[in-house]
């Protein structure tokens, strides 16, 4: 059975400042993760010639993949992080203070809540459909380097988790989730490469 490796990008400068969305580069810790990921992928997939690396179009995922040579890299807009619309670039604290109704509405129904001029989790789940179809068709391993909300949705699909849990699934930074699809169903392993 071929593995699918899911990981968030290395920590970004916006992650450090607690800002959502954006398109910043990696922090120092994020850079270290990108190198560790390279070592891991090299070892794990060295005999897998047809493996490929899929990223979003945002630089934090592209930079995270940049140290991994030898595999084709594909950018998918559908793997971009949830679009926070008017809240893009804000901290959760700022949203709570400046847009309390939005903050409350999201807290009440995180799955369906759509950021003004942005997206909801349901929107993200829908736009991931072509990615899932393509992932299912692949015979070779795929490394997916994406973002928290997107990976929650992808993971839930493979791990068969209920819709309502999706916005709350834990997808920590600097951790690889390996999914194996075999005859016995789906198996999962997590590799935490750094604290």
Pairing of strands 175-182, 73-75: unpaired
Q: Establish if 20 lies at the interface with ligand F6P (CB under 6 A).
A: yes
User: For 1-91, where are the alpha helices, taking DSSP H only?
Assistant: 13-17, 28-44, 59-65
CB 7 within 8 A of CB 177: yes
Planar angle of CA 141, 81, 137, nearest 5 degrees? 30
Residue span 64-93 as binding mask against ligand F6P, x where in contact by CB under 6 A, dash where not:
-----------------xx-x---------
DSSP letter, residue 86 = G
Does 168 participate in catalysis according to the annotation? Answer: no
Planar angle of CA 193, 18, 78, nearest 5 degrees? 70
Does 60 participate in catalysis according to the annotation? Answer: yes
Q: Establish if 153 lies at the interface with ligand F6P (CB under 6 A).
A: no
Does 102 participate in catalysis according to the annotation? Answer: no
Q: Which of 123, 122, 96 is nearest to 111 (CA)?
A: 122
Which of 3, 10, 21, 30 contacts ligand F6P by CB under 6 A? Answer: 21
Pairing of strands 73-75, 52-55: parallel
Q: Establish if 45 lies at the interface with ligand F6P (CB under 6 A).
A: no
Select from 31-39, 55-63, 66-74, 145-153 the region that touches ligand F6P (CB under 6 A): 145-153
Does 15 participate in catalysis according to the annotation? Answer: yes
Q: Smallest gap, in angstroms, from Cβ of residue 135 to ligand F6P?
A: 20
Q: Establish if 41 lies at the interface with ligand F6P (CB under 6 A).
A: no
Taking each helix axis as running N to C, give the angle between helix 148-159 and helix 129-137, from 0 to 180 degrees, rounded to the nearest 10: 50
Q: Establish if 148 lies at the interface with ligand F6P (CB under 6 A).
A: yes
CB 88 within 8 A of CB 20: yes
Q: From the candidates 19, 60, 106, 152, which is the catalytic residue? A: 60
Does 9 participate in catalysis according to the annotation? Answer: yes
Number of residues that bind ligand F6P (CB under 6 A): 10
User: Would you say 51 or 88 has its CB closer to ligand F6P?
Assistant: 88
Residues designated as active site? 8-9, 15, 60, 81, 147
Binding residues for ligand F6P (CB under 6 A): 15, 20-21, 81-82, 84, 147-149, 167
């Amino acid at each position: 059975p071929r593995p699918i490796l899911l990981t968030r990008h290395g920590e970004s400068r916006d992650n450090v400042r607690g800002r959502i969305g954006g398109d910043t580069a990696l922090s120092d810790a994020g850079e270290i993760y990108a190198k560790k990921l390279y070592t891991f992928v090299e070892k794990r997939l060295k005999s897998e010639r047809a493996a490929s690396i899929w990223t979003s179009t945002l630089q934090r995922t592209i930079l995270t993949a940049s140290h991994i040579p030898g595999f084709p890299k594909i950018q998918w807009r559908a793997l971009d992080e949830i679009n926070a619309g008017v809240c893009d670039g804000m901290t959760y604290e700022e949203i709570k203070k400046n847009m309390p109704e939005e903050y409350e509405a999201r807290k009440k129904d995180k799955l369906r809540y759509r950021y003004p001029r942005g997206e909801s989790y349901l929107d993200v789940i829908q736009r991931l459909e072509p990615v899932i179809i393509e992932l299912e068709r692949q015979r070779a391993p795929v490394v997916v380097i994406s973002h928290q909300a997107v990976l929650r949705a992808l993971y839930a699909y493979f791990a068969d988790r209920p819709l309502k849990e999706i916005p709350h699934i834990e997808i920590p930074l600097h951790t690889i989730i390996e999914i194996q699809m075999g005859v016995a169903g789906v198996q999962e392993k997590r590799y935490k490469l750094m604290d």
